[in-house]
Every structure is written in C-alpha cells, then in structure tokens.
Amino acid sequence: MTWIFLAAGLVVAGLVVLGIVGARVVAAARGLNREVAEVHAQFSAKRDARG
C-alpha cells in the first residue's frame, strides 16, 4: 500500500513540475510575441517613411 501512495505522490509532484514549466513557456511565448510585434511595427514605420 505504501508503494501506491508513493507513486501517487510522485505523479502529483510531476504534474506540478509540468504545470510550472508550462506556465514559464506561456510567459516566454507572450514575451516573444510582444517583441516580434514591436519589430514588425518598426519595419512598418520604416517602410512608410520611405514611401
């Protein structure tokens, strides 16, 4: 019975780790999206300035 509780605890701990890593990935993707949008806006402004 102890093995079952140990295995269940490891599963829960693994899911917590995956949740934390997933949240970091989402945050990084949002930051990258923000940077890409900023660079795109800069290129659009330069293209408009050249005519």
* pLDDT tens column, 3-18: 999 999 999 999 999 9
* pTM higher than 0.75: no
Looking at per-residue confidence, does 33 or 49 come out higher?
33
- Cα–Cα distance for residue pair 42/48, rounded to 1 Å: 10
Looking at per-residue confidence, does 10 or 44 come out higher?
10
Number of residues written out for the chain: 51
- Cα–Cα distance for residue pair 28/24, rounded to 1 Å: 6
Residue 51: band (very low, low, confident or very high) from pLDDT cuts 50, 70, 90: low
